[in-house]
Amino acid sequence: MEKSKDKEPTFSVFLSASEEGNRRIGCEMVAPLMTLLLLFLSYVTATTSLHNHEEHSRRNLLANGLGTTPPMGWNSWNHFNCQIDEKIIKETADALVSTGLSKLGYIYVNIDDCWAELNRDDKGNLVAKKSTFPSGIKALADYVHSKGLKLGIYSDAGYYTCSNKMPGSLGHEFQDAKTFASWGIDYLKYDNCNNDGSKPTTRYPVMTRALMKAGRPIFFSLCEWGDLHPALWGDRVGNSWRTTNDINDSWDSMISRADMNEVYAEHARPGGWNDPDMLEVGNGGMTKNEYIVHFSLWAISKAPLLLGCDIRNLTKETTEIVANKEVIAVNQDSLGVQGKKVRMEGDIEIWAGPLSGYRVAVVLLNRGPMKMSNTANWDDIGIPPKSVVEARDLWEHKTLLRPFVGKLTATVEPHACKMYVLKPKA
Ligand SMILES: *[C@@H]1O[C@H](CO)[C@@H](O)[C@H](O)[C@H]1NC(C)=O
Ligand SMILES: *[C@@H]1O[C@H](CO)[C@@H](O)[C@H](O)[C@H]1NC(C)=O
């Protein structure tokens, strides 16, 4: 979470627009040059500030072996905000198992802001909030582990977290990392509120070192909201990095986060992922088709799949979306290459990315208010033009009998998408 909800990361928006220009059909010749120039300028801007830090750490600080595929699980923030307690966390763990979601890969149970007392104990340790987490975090971790799941926790690279209701870890990184490890924590989301004004590239690597010394592999999720282009340095520091400010449960917020995140596609890889923020599927603010777009874009973007709804009472509709094994398989594919926009024509977009086994994942997206025809050309999505292709529709769960040559066309409803895995026939 964060406080500055209105603040847009201006540079990535800028880049988005220029890339869009570059990819549009029939754009002026000047667009590619402008794009190069802007990319160069943005790189210089973002990296000059890193040089001091880089003197000390040219190699990866983080070698925890985690995140070979994007993390999957649940986080308390999007649905519960600060209204959390140990009962909700335990019931969520129970529900992840009883619904079968844990078997599909949703194994992280992540506690967000507001789990600790405002004051540290007399030795300077973080203390679980007595009124809401009376059994303590260690007991909760034991419970979650007994279910075959993993427990995540939240802190902040500042003096207080974003809620101002608990301390941050700035200046206490080594002590807090040790505490987390001693409790059995498996995942740390690290926010950016109430800091000392120094750069994230100064503050975040301190926690990286602390986690590496803590004696337990802990997935490190950087949440500096994309402010200092973390895609350019995050892979040395964390297992994932937010590329955007907070999502909310609306179409505009969701789709704009997907856009901002897409710009950095080249930087994602096994062990380090772009993070457009957690899922809102099931929270009620979007239509079923819009939530399908949300889940499809997060999957093809190799984003963390962290559910943000109340798992204890999932509707049939929400379950149908988040338990779609075929869409999850795209996200978890071993190749780990983030899909991107390969063509944009008005409200119509083609997103595509390679999968293992010479397959290609494709999303045909309609962002507009009217039903549209949408075509993926082999040329655009990296399939040899003469290839005969078998298409699997991941939302209809049907293999289309007709073999496709050169392109695939479908009609797409407003604010909706189709998603396929295409497999060239030998
Ligand atoms: C959600 O985000 C959208 C787009 O970023 C913004 O226009 C809207 O005001 C936000 N809604 C709330 C309730 O914050
Ligand atoms: C969801 O389930 C929990 C516990 O099972 C319950 O307390 C809560 O009221 C339910 N919410 C809704 C909207 O049904």
Q: What is the pLDDT of residues 111-129, one digit of tens each?
A: 999 999 999 999 999 999 9
Condensed to tens digits (0 to 9), the pLDDT of residues 41-54 reads 555 444 444 444 44
321-to-295, 344, 367 alpha-carbon distances in Å: 7, 25, 19
Residue 243 has pLDDT above 70, yes or no: yes
Tokens 């667009």 belong to residue: 31
Q: Are 45 and 232 in contact (CB under 8 A)?
A: no
Whole-number percent of the chain with pLDDT over 90 = 84
Residue 425 has a pLDDT of 87
- In this structure, which ligand is nearest to the CA of 257? 1
Q: What spacing in Å lies between the alpha carbon of 369 and ligand 2's midpoint?
A: 34
Residue 36's pLDDT band (boundaries 50, 70, 90)? low
Residue 293 confidence (pLDDT): 99
Q: How many angstroms separate the CA atoms of 235 and 271, rounded?
A: 8
Task: Give the ligand whose atoms come closest to the C-alpha of residue 250.
Answer: 1
For a substitution probing ligand 2, which of 76, 90, 91, 312 has the most ligand atoms within 8 Å of its CB?
312
Q: Which residue has the tokens 């040089």?
A: 51
- Asked if 227 is an active-site residue, the reply is no
Q: 33-37, 44-48, 230-234, 289-293: which has the minimum mean pLDDT?
A: 44-48
The rounded Å distance from CA 309 to ligand 2 centre is 11
- CA gap 215, 265 in Å, rounded: 32
Calculate helix-pair angle for 288-300, 251-262, nearest 10 degrees.
10
The arithmetic mean of pLDDT across residues 4-24, rounded, is 36
pLDDT at 406 over 80: yes
Q: Which ligand has the nearest atom to the CA of 79?
A: 2
Q: How many other C-beta atoms can be found within 10 angstroms of the C-beta atom of residue 397?
A: 10
Long-range Cβ pairs for the range 58-61 (8 Å, 24+): 59/236, 60/235, 60/236, 61/205, 61/208, 61/209, 61/212, 61/236, 61/237
Q: Letter for the amino acid at 181?
A: A
pLDDT reported for residue 426: 67
Closest CA to 350 of 342, 360, 358: 342
Phi-psi category of residue 184: left, alpha or beta, with phi > 0 → left and psi -120 to 50 → alpha: left
If you take atom 10 of ligand 2, which residue's CA is the nearest one?
313
Residue 273 has pLDDT above 50, yes or no: yes
Does position 1 have pLDDT exceeding 80, yes or no?
A: no
Model confidence at 150, pLDDT cuts 50, 70, 90, reads very high
246 a catalytic residue: yes
pLDDT at 55 over 90: no
pLDDT in tens, 58-108: 467 888 999 999 999 999 999 999 999 999 999 999 999 999 999 999 999
Q: How far apart are CA 152 and CA 218, in angstroms?
A: 9
Backbone angles phi, psi at 205, to 5 degrees: -65, -20
Find tokens 């949703």 and name the residue: 106
Q: pLDDT at position 403, please?
A: 86
Per-residue pLDDT of 247-264, as tens digits, reads: 999 999 999 999 999 999
Q: Which three-class secondary structure string do you get for 260-277? A: HHHCCHHHCECCEEEECC
Determine the pLDDT at residue 317. 98
pLDDT of residue 42: 52
Q: How confident is the model at residue 58, as a pLDDT?
A: 46
Mean predicted confidence (pLDDT) in 393-417:
95
Residue minimizing CA distance to atom 12 of ligand 2? 313
Mean pLDDT across the stretch 417-426?
93
Between CA 240 and CA 230 the distance in angstroms is 9
Q: Is 400 helix (H, G, I), strand (E, B) or coil?
A: strand
Prediction pTM value? 0.87
User: Mean pLDDT of all residues in the chain?
Assistant: 90
Residues with a CB atom less than 6 Å from ligand 1: 248, 250, 252-253, 256
Residue 35's pLDDT band, with cuts at 50, 70 and 90, is low
pLDDT at 177: 98
88 CA distance to ligand 2 middle (Å)? 10
Q: Residues 334-392: pLDDT tens digits?
A: 999 999 999 999 999 999 999 999 999 999 999 999 999 999 999 999 999 999 999 99
- pLDDT surpassing 50 at residue 178: yes
